[in-house]
Amino acid sequence: NPVLPRPRRTRVFVVANQKGGVGKTTTAVNMAAALAGSGARVLVIDLDPQGNASTALGIEHGEGLPNIYDVLVDGEPISKFVYSVPRFPTLFAVPATIDLSGAELELASVVAREARLKRALDVYIREQAEAGQPLDYVMIDCPPSLGLLTMNALVAGREVLVPIQCEYYALEGVETLFRIVDLVRELNRDLVVSTVLLTMYDARTRLSAQVAENARENLGQAVLRTAIPRSVRISEAPSFGQTAMTWDPGSPGALSYLEAARELALRDPWANSVETDTSTDT
């Protein structure tokens, strides 16, 4: 893969959308693999109890195995749970297991419960930099809800990446997500919705074109020029414990994630971000 410029500091992306099935996990793992394939050091944090990102990256995540739950609930260091992703020398992942499904309730009574991930991640990022192997990107894959797990991701991250499925009601719910981002900004001043990615784009349908147009109209420069096409190769890769990047690197799906990753690496997140502060609307 072509070499991309590496960021001066770690870019922490929160892949979020409270709707299920819009392509969060697919985007988190394929973007991560595309960036890692260009030489960047990338960490994927699976924050969904379903563990789909862990599956797609070929990392074991059966019930009871060590996972991100231990970081969030027991305050263990992230470094204990970082696994190497097969086939990618610079791609790493922290898995999630079904044990995480209890975390929202268990955290409810903990002090600073929405900052648990941030505390652990900041330490890990610093450790990696001090060890002379700084992380370039972190991709946090969120569950399909706006609960305490997604809150932890938003507090820990700098940039929100919102996958939008090119389907009916695509933009429904996005306002709610933006309102939460706005609230979280009281704790995490620098958080921006820097990136929107159109997924499962079907060039044969008018609907996809309409959703894309609507998104670009409403969300402006944050929307990447590259849209991810609907592709069987993308959807079948996880069942082989792989991303599309290795499963079928020449497929249109894999190439589109490569192109989207390139855009992401080359653009200024702050110049392109969505204005989510609705309080100043006239």
Strand runs labelled E in the chain: 11-15, 42-46, 83-84, 91-94, 137-141, 159-165, 192-199
Number of residues forming the site for ligand ADP (CB under 6 A): 17
The interface region with ligand ADP, picked from 97-105, 121-129, 176-184, 230-238 by CB under 6 A, is: 230-238
For residues 165 and 163, what is the distance between their CA atoms, to the nearest angstrom? Answer: 6
Cα separations (Å) of 81 from 41, 43, 44, 120?
Answer: 16, 11, 11, 11
For residues 277 and 257, what is the distance between their CA atoms, to the nearest angstrom? Answer: 29
CB of 22 to Mg ion, least distance (A): 9
242 binds, among ligand ADP, Mg ion, none (CB under 5 to 8 A by kind): none
Two tokens, residue 8: 């001066």
Cβ closest to ligand ADP, residue 244 vs residue 274: 244
| Contact partners, residue 143, CB within 8 Å, separation at least 6 | 47, 48, 49, 50, 149, 150
Cβ closest to ligand ADP, residue 48 vs residue 159: 48
Residue type, 239: S
Residue 21 sits in the site that holds ligand ADP (CB under 6 A): yes
Residue 27 sits in the site that holds Mg ion (CB under 5 A): no
Cβ closest to Mg ion, residue 19 vs residue 24: 24
The interface region with ligand ADP, picked from 38-46, 153-161, 228-236, 269-277 by CB under 6 A, is: 228-236
Two tokens, residue 55: 């599956």
What phi and psi, each to the nearest 5 degrees, are found at residue 165?
-80, 130
166-205 residues in contact with ligand ADP (CB under 6 A) are 199-200
The interface region with ligand ADP, picked from 32-40, 109-117, 218-226, 227-235 by CB under 6 A, is: 227-235
Q: Can you tell me which of 18, 52, 150, 273 binds ligand ADP, judged by CB under 6 A?
A: 52
